[in-house]
Chains A and B, each alone.
Chain A
């Protein structure tokens, strides 16, 4: 659409004038020109008519539209805590303000003593183990043939069996824990897990093999009696 601009070069100023954004000097210049120029006056009237049409449309369809209220669910955790704290303090102040000064002072002393007693009790209380949330799985121990110890210091003249259990038994109560499963979220720190595993590591409580843990028929390991078959000290 071709637009002719026979308006004496006042097109921008004409728009600025219509929308009341011309400076006072520009306004005076344009008004003086309008009084002398019929063409610009007609042009200005036509532009004003177009502008009025848009203005009426805006006024008719949009001006009375109520702006909707947008409610954004912001988190109010801090506010609630502050309000609760304020309410708690206000209630406490209300309780003490209702009493006389001696009663309030005695109550204050009692509160302080109570807090001190609770602090002392907390400090002296035994610390619970961290592994409250640790579940220990009992391992499935498979019986495997165990070889006899290879260190023998001196030949024994008799073929009587030697009870080696006393040499290998480290603790009186064996701890069967072998695998440790820690119940923690995925983002838990690995250091804690390692500590927990170390604290219950099965290497610290090994179960020493006992000679009666297996059947004699299945056992093909070397026995002391095997060494002394024939003559005494035949092997070594």
Chain B
């Protein structure tokens, strides 16, 4: 199952193979969760959105057309789910709803309680991130640190570094892009 491509896994999942879809989830859960985290801005919201995205994908897997990549298909589903959840939250006028009953249904997305293998993977990933951030040019690393660690706004970074606001955003974009490339070149092997 591990050796199959995403498209082959989808074919098997369409045929009713639950393990095939489980492998798809395992491969993409982190990236879908990251996308949802970027959309929602909160870990718990992102976890809910990713959960619903994988459920929606499983329900609609028969509608998957082979002209698109599986990753793009999942991304699109995740974006739709995030926007749906946002609209729902807006109509409820509640920022966050802690649904304790929903905890039992979260079978697709990795929970915060990680297995030893996942913990090892997490530790290796963090080591890679440290190295990747440390290897960034100073001007890019500076904005990453100010944004992520000091939680400064773009405006505050702009005033601190005496840079235009657009330059700060552009530097952060470039920094994230370079980080992504560095992390992709040294992928973490999942045990």
Residues of the A chain whose Cβ atoms lie less than 8 Å from the Cβ of B76 = 35, 38, 41
Is the CB of A219 closer than 8 A to any CB of chain B? no
Measured between C-beta atoms, what is the minimum distance from A56 to chain B in Å? Answer: 7
In Å, the complex CA distance between A18 and B179 comes to 15
A47 x B180 contact (CB < 8 A): yes
Q: Say yes or no: A49-B180 contact (C-beta < 8 A), given A15-B172, A60-B126.
A: yes
Cross-chain contact of B34 among A31, A35, A42, A52 (Cβ < 8 A): A52
Q: Known contacts A50-B183, A57-B130: does B35 contact A3 (CB below 8 Å)?
A: no
- Interface residue B154 (Cβ < 8 Å from any Cβ of A): yes
Q: How many chain A residues touch the partner (CB < 8 A)? A: 36
Residues of B within 8 A of A19 (CB): 41, 147, 154, 172
**Set of chain A residues within 8 Å of B129, measured between Cβ atoms:** 53-54, 56-57
Chain A interface helix/strand/loop/mixed: helix
User: Given the complex, which residues of B lie within 8 Å of A34, measured CB to CB?
Assistant: 79
- CB atoms of B125 and A49 under 8 A apart: no
Contact at B31–A21, with CB atoms within 8 Å? no
Q: Are B31 and A45 in contact (CB under 8 A)?
A: yes
| Shortest Cβ gap from A110 to chain B (Å) | 66
Chain B residues near A89 (CB, 8 Å)? none
B172 neighbours in A (Cβ, 8 Å): 15, 19
Question: Is B21 close to A, CB under 8 A?
Answer: no
Residue in B38, B177, B178, B181 whose beta carbon sits within 8 Å of that of A17 in the complex: B38
Q: Does B80 contact A (CB under 8 A)?
A: yes
Cα separation A91 to B78 with both chains bound (whole Å): 73
Q: Is A16 an interface residue (CB 8 A)?
A: yes
B91 at the interface (CB under 8 A from A): no
**Looking across the interface, which residue of chain B has its beta carbon closest to that of A7?**
B173
Do A16 and B154 touch (CB < 8 A)? yes
Main secondary structure of the interface of B (DSSP, over half): helix
**In whole angstroms, what is the CA distance A31 to B87 when docked?**
12
Per-residue contact bits, chain B 49-84, to A (CB 8 Å; 1 contact, 0 not): 000000000000000000010011001101110010
B133 and A54 form a contact (CB under 8 A)? yes
- For residue B128, which residue of chain A has the nearest CB? A53
Identify which of B36, B79, B147, B176 contacts A50 (C-beta below 8 A): B176
B144 / chain A contacts, CB cutoff of 8 Å: 54
Return the CB mask of B140-152 against A: 1 if under 8 Å, else 0: 0000100111000
Q: Are B126 and A49 in contact (CB under 8 A)?
A: no
- State how many angstroms separate the Cβ of B174 from the closest Cβ of chain A: 6
Chain B residue contacts of A50, Cβ below 8 A = 176-177, 179-180, 183
Chain B residues near A11 (CB-CB < 8 A): 169-170, 173
Q: Is A131 an interface residue (CB 8 A)?
A: no
Verify A15–B176 contact, CB threshold 8 A: yes
User: Is B120 close to A, CB under 8 A?
Assistant: no
Chain A stretch 3-48: residues in CB contact (< 8 A) with chain B: 3, 11-12, 14-21, 31, 34-35, 38, 41-42, 44-48
Within the complex, the shortest CB–CB distance from B50 to chain A, in Å, comes to 11
Q: Does A62 contact B (CB under 8 A)?
A: yes
- Is B108 engaged at the interface, CB distance under 8 Å to the other chain? no
Listed A/B pairs (10) with beta-carbon separation below 8 Å: A14-B173, A18-B38, A35-B79, A45-B31, A45-B34, A45-B71, A47-B173, A48-B36, A49-B35, A50-B179
Residues in A lying within 8 Å of B, measured CB to CB: 1, 3, 11-12, 14-21, 31, 34-35, 38, 41-42, 44-58, 60-62
A12-B166, A18-B38 given; 14 more Cβ-contact pairs under 8 Å: A11-B169, A14-B173, A15-B173, A16-B154, A17-B38, A21-B154, A31-B83, A41-B76, A44-B75, A47-B176, A51-B38, A52-B38, A56-B122, A57-B129
